[in-house]
Amino acid sequence: MNYHVLTLFPDMIIQGLGESIIGRAAARGVISVEAVNIRDYTANKHKKTDDYPYGGGAGMLMQAQPVYDAWQAVVKTIAESGRDAQKARVIYVTPKGKPFVQEMAKELAREEDLVFLCGHYEGIDERVLEEIVTDYVSIGDYVLTGGELPAMVMIDAISRMAPGVLGNEDSGESESFSNYLLEYPQYTRPEVWRGKKVPEILLSGDHQKVEQWRLEQSMEITKRARPELYEKWADENQEYFIRKAKREERARKRELKREQKKNSLQYPL
pLDDT tens-digit map of 240-251: 888 888 888 998
pLDDT at 167 over 80: no
* pLDDT tens figures, 7-64: 999 999 999 999 999 999 999 999 999 999 999 999 988 999 999 999 988 889 999 9
Per-residue model confidence (pLDDT) at position 88: 97
* 8 Å CB contact between 140 and 30: no
pLDDT at 189 over 70: yes
Per-residue model confidence (pLDDT) at position 260: 85
More confident residue, 133 or 262: 133
CA 66 to chain centre: 30
Per-residue model confidence (pLDDT) at position 172: 52
Torsion-angle region of 92 (φ positive above 0: left; ψ -120 to 50: alpha; else: beta)? beta
Binned at pLDDT 50, 70 and 90, residue 177 comes out as low
Per-residue model confidence (pLDDT) at position 267: 65
* 8 Å CB contact between 63 and 89: no
Please report, rounded to a whole number, the percentage of residues in the chain having pLDDT higher than 90. 74
Per-residue model confidence (pLDDT) at position 170: 47
Euclidean distance between CA atoms 4 and 26, whole angstroms: 13
pLDDT at 169 over 60: no
* 8 Å CB contact between 31 and 3: yes
pLDDT at 269 over 70: no
Binned at pLDDT 50, 70 and 90, residue 65 comes out as very high
* pLDDT tens figures, 86-128: 999 999 999 899 999 999 999 999 999 999 999 998 899 999 9
